[in-house]
Amino acid sequence: MEENNSLREWARKNKIWEIKSWEIFLKDYIVPFYRQTYILMKFYNFLNSPEIIGKSSLADIDKIPKEKIKAAIYGGAENPETSFAKFMFDIFGLCAENVHSFEESIKMYEKYEDKIKVSINPNSWIYKINIYELKNTTFNIIQYISNKLGLRLKDLGIPEDYPYDYDPVKDIEPESLLPLPGENPTKLISLINEFVQRSINLSFFVNPFTTFILYSRAIPLSVLRDFLDCDIEKIKDLANFLGLKAYSMIDNSEINLPTKSPEKVFLLYTCNYPSSSLSQNIIKLQEFLFNIASINNNALNIIKDIFNRSYTDAINQIHITFDPWENYKEIFTFLNKTIKDDAPTWVSLNIVNGKIVKIYSGYNEVQLSNNIEFIDFLIKIYPIISVGLVNPTSLSKNSLELTFDSYVPGFSRKWIKRVIEHEGNT
């Protein structure tokens, strides 16, 4: 694939197997994103504070200029769909108490004015993205890489003082982000726009570091060795850094690197790996990025277009031969009937003595009459795994669980239909 060629060139040029090469990723991408995330979290906490929603009415707010809160509740109501109040409701859920919509909040204010009690509606963008868990995941990435690099958090602009809230923006007062009546909400809008753009810049197929983690999270050891053109000892260090385990493709047992038989070893990140695993946290971060992009159609379309284009290229450019086709036909017939067009689908392979004997998903299962060598099947499908169309989620001695379409639904089934239509020759 052309994209893999450019990723290969980038990885070799930057010697991605050397841990120090990840310092750029940490300082230029993750830390700035963490800073933006923390500011948003502080602002949301500020809106949720006793000084605002803890007061019995808007009129009782005293420590914060109530004119700012009024503007956030009712500002621009003469043009409701483009108003600042609508923005605050959609993004942060700020509204009058006991309402279910923005329109109800406006009517409530018009009726009771400063007597309304300010509240936070959970049906908001910031609630959807889970800003607290996003902050924790991003911090876990920072802490993990900085520890590996021997860097102090304070060297990254993150204080380590008690009570260890790791606040990189202590000098920013959340109140300052709110405009007074008549002012443009420039600071807040700029913060949101920068936050969304930084999230897109971290996405798979945009950021080479995260794309490399996607590519390498489940891959034959020999393929990664050839991809990077480096020795197994360096791959071992990289695997340890990324949080990849090495498994024998003969009996699925976990093995230690280095090995004398790299062609029989598969590297795999797993969901039950300790939370400090870099690969796990980066994959988890991507799930947040899709929710962040849902802030507006433009951002969502950008990230969808990125994935759609990447997956379309993958389907068109990855060539795999499933031969003899009669041996594989049962698997793909089952997948074609099982994989959903509009949601992720979990499928498991039952493995006995190195052969796939059964495929199942929920209550649906098929006993395979032509037992396929597990090692052959895994090597054949890894190119599709490498681009994220299929995601291995757990591997044991007797089974492999796969998730189809973890990110953008529909593309796995397109590929499966293509395999069937061409009778195993894609």
Domain's final residue, options 264, 290, 310? 310
- Give residue-wise pLDDT tens across range 205-246: 999 999 999 999 999 999 999 999 999 999 999 999 999 999
- The β-bridge partners of 321 are 425
pTM score: 0.93
CA distances from 130 to 19, 225, 348 (A): 30, 38, 30
**What mean pLDDT is predicted for residues 374-380?**
92
Domain annotation covers residue 223: no
CATH of the domain at 404: 1.10.10
Domain annotation covers residue 214: no
> What pLDDT is attached to residue 5?
64
Q: Which of the 8 DSSP states describes residue 153?
A: G
Domain annotation covers residue 137: yes
Residue range of the domain that includes 325: 318-421
Q: Is the pLDDT score of 2 beyond 60?
A: no
Quick one: tokens of 94?
């700020």
Domain annotation covers residue 255: no
**How far is 185 from 303, CA to CA, in rounded Å?**
26
The tally of domains found in the chain comes to 2
Residue type, 202: L
Same domain flag for 283 and 397: no
Structural contact between residues 388 and 395, judged by C-beta atoms closer than 8 angstroms: no
**How far is 103 from 59, CA to CA, in rounded Å?**
21
How crowded is residue 306: how many other Cβ atoms within 10 Å of its Cβ?
17
- Give residue-wise pLDDT tens across range 85-132: 999 999 999 999 999 999 999 999 999 999 999 999 999 999 999 999
Same domain flag for 288 and 384: no
| Radius of gyration of the chain measured on its C-alpha atoms | 25
Same domain flag for 173 and 131: yes
> What pLDDT is attached to residue 114?
94
Q: Is the pLDDT score of 148 beyond 70?
A: yes
Structural contact between residues 321 and 377, judged by C-beta atoms closer than 8 angstroms: no
Domain annotation covers residue 342: yes
Structural contact between residues 207 and 29, judged by C-beta atoms closer than 8 angstroms: yes
Same domain flag for 413 and 329: yes
> What pLDDT is attached to residue 1?
40
Same domain flag for 290 and 337: no
Q: What is the DSSP string of 341-377?
A: SSS-EEEEEEEETTEEEEEEETTEEEEEEEEEEHHHH
Q: Closest by alpha carbon to 70, among 148, 178, 167?
A: 178
> C-alpha 289: how far from its chain's center?
5
Same domain flag for 333 and 381: yes
- Give residue-wise pLDDT tens across range 247-301: 998 888 999 999 888 999 999 987 655 556 899 999 999 999 999 999 988 999 9
SS3 268: strand
> C-alpha 210: how far from its chain's center?
10
Residue type, 50: P
Same domain flag for 294 and 326: no
Same domain flag for 194 and 324: no
> What pLDDT is attached to residue 256?
93
- Give residue-wise pLDDT tens across range 28-47: 999 999 999 999 999 999 99
Same domain flag for 172 and 102: yes
Three-state secondary structure readout of 195-244:
HHHHHHHCCCCCCHHHHHHHHHCEEEHHHHHHHHCCCHHHHHHHHHHHCC
Domain annotation covers residue 6: no
Q: Is the pLDDT score of 203 beyond 60?
A: yes
Mean pLDDT of the chain: 92
Structural contact between residues 401 and 393, judged by C-beta atoms closer than 8 angstroms: yes
Domain's final residue, options 310, 335, 352? 310
Residue type, 11: A
Same domain flag for 301 and 390: no
Give me the percent of the chain exceeding a pLDDT of 70.
97
Same domain flag for 294 and 333: no
Structural contact between residues 115 and 57, judged by C-beta atoms closer than 8 angstroms: yes
Same domain flag for 183 and 118: yes
Domain annotation covers residue 86: yes
Domain annotation covers residue 412: yes
Backbone angles phi, psi at 189, to 5 degrees: -65, -45
Backbone angles phi, psi at 183, to 5 degrees: -85, 155
